[in-house]
Every structure is written in structure tokens, then in C-alpha cells.
Amino acid sequence: MLNKILQCYKNALNDTINHDGIEHGGYIAFLSMLSIFPFFIFFAALITIICNLYLKNINGESILHIVTSLLIESNFANLIEALQPRIIEITTTPPESLLSLAIVSVIWTASSLLEGLRTILNRAYRVSKPPQYIYRRLLSIMQFILISFLVIIFVFIIKVLPIIADSILLFIADFRKYKFIHTILNIILALQDNINWLVVFCMNFALLSAIYYLIPNMKQKFIHTFPGTINTIIWWQISTKIFQYYLLVFKQINIVYGSIAGIIIALLYFYICSLIFIYGAELNYWYKKLIFR
């Protein structure tokens, strides 16, 4: 079994190179830069509309502030420092309506990333006859909207539910028959800080597995995405730390690129993450072929 696992990692590395993963990593990095601002525009508009229509007691701007805080406090925040001002501007002044021609182009542009990922995943999973372009593009738009909803749900679970739990505690504090619920909620809130990293990991795991599962034009079991997902998450964390150290110690990027160094740093970071993502897809294929068969 150990030999088969090692063979999976070796074959995945070879196929990443043979399937032009090095070049496709640059393609995905470019699409990531192209799609990140349209995604945040759509995301901000969607949250505002949902809160206004269905969550009258929850301020949409508060949720957007939570999203912005999560971004700024994340490990990779300084790697996309050049992009932060525009992201903060979008999330603090969200569009008032989705019913405009501009949002159509926003969705089209943001979904381009999924279409690029589909091309890479189809090659990694050996999909020889993908559907026609129009069908794939419409599918990318629907999947982009679905993933946006999943991100909103994850943000709600991570940051908004504890606020609701506090409100429930205040409401039932004087009712003895709710003492058991009161105790459970207090335990959850007390453990929140200690298990927050675990919750974030589970959310990232679920979202990345969903991308590996939904995007390629093939049928597969959800469990078959787990090896690549775990590998990708771990190496994203490791590469982030290494790249941060590299930028701290070596100043070549700032010397060479000057005022646009921030954009180049963000692009390089997306490129590294793209390579790891592509390798994870190749790993999924070989685990399915050698381990899960």
C-alpha cells in the first residue's frame, strides 16, 4: 500500500509536467487576478440583497465587514496587499442592485476562472470528450453562483452563528426549562476560539472538494477528491509560509519591478497556488486508479 501511495505522488508529479501544468498554472493565476474583483462585486451585491430581502435583523454591511476582516487577518493577507484596497472598497460600498447590465459582465468575467479550472481538471481526469463550449460556459456561471452561496453559508457559520447564539442566551437566561440549551450554547461559545481553526479547515476542505468534484465533466465519487484536497490545503499553508519568508529575506522582486511589485507578488502567489491545485487534481486521478479501484 505504501508503495502504491508513493507511486501516486510520483505519477502525479510527472503528469503535472507532461500535461503542461507549469504553463497552465500561469493561465489560472492570470484568471484569478482577472476574476477576483468581479467575484467580490458579485459577492457583496448578493449578500446585500439576501440581507435586505430575508434577514431584516442582520445588516449586510456587517457581514461584509466580517468578510473583509477575515481577509485582512488571514495568513496570505500580505501576499495580496496590492489588491486589498480595492477589495475593501468593494465590500464597504457594495452595489445596490444586481438588476443591471454591469452585473452580467461581472458574473461572466468571474466565472472565467471556473472555465479555466474545468479545462485543467478535464485534462487531469482524462476527460477526452468535454461538452460544447456554450454548455460548459453556462455550467460555469451556474457553478459560480452556487459556490458564491456556499461561501456565504460558510461565512455565516463561522462568524454570524456565534452572534445569534449570544442573542439566544440572553433571551433564555431567565427560563429554567431551557437550562440544558443554555449550557450547550455556553460550551460552544467557550470552545469557539480553540476550534475556530478546525472549523475554517473543514470549510476550506468542503469548498475545495466541491470544486474538484463539480467542475470536471465526469462522474465520480466525492471521496475520490479527498487526497488532492488534503494535499492542496497542506501545501497551500506551507507554500504561504515559505513565500512570506522569501519576500522578507530577499528583495529582488521590489528591486526588479519597483512600483508594480505588489501586483507581481500577488500574481506569483496565485501561480504557486495554481500549481499545487493542479498537482492535487493529478493526485486525485492516480489515487482513484491505484488505491480506490
> What pLDDT is stored for residue 205 in this prediction?
92
Domain that holds residue 177: 2-290
Helix 101-110 with 112-124: angle, nearest 10 deg? 20
> What pLDDT is stored for residue 189 in this prediction?
59
Least reliable range by pLDDT among 145-154, 186-195, 260-269: 186-195
Which tens digit of pLDDT belongs to each residue from 117-132? 999 999 999 998 888 8
- Of 270, 212, 292, 236, nearest to 30 (Cα)? 270
* Domain total of the chain: 1
179 confidence band (pLDDT: 50, 70, 90): low
Q: What is the mean pLDDT of the chain?
A: 80
Asked if 112 contacts 141 with a C-beta cutoff of 8 angstroms, the reply is no
Q: Tell whether pTM > 0.85.
A: no
- Of 167, 231, 153, nearest to 199 (Cα)? 153
Give the three cell numbers for residue 208: 475545495
| pLDDT higher than threshold 90 for residue 280 | yes
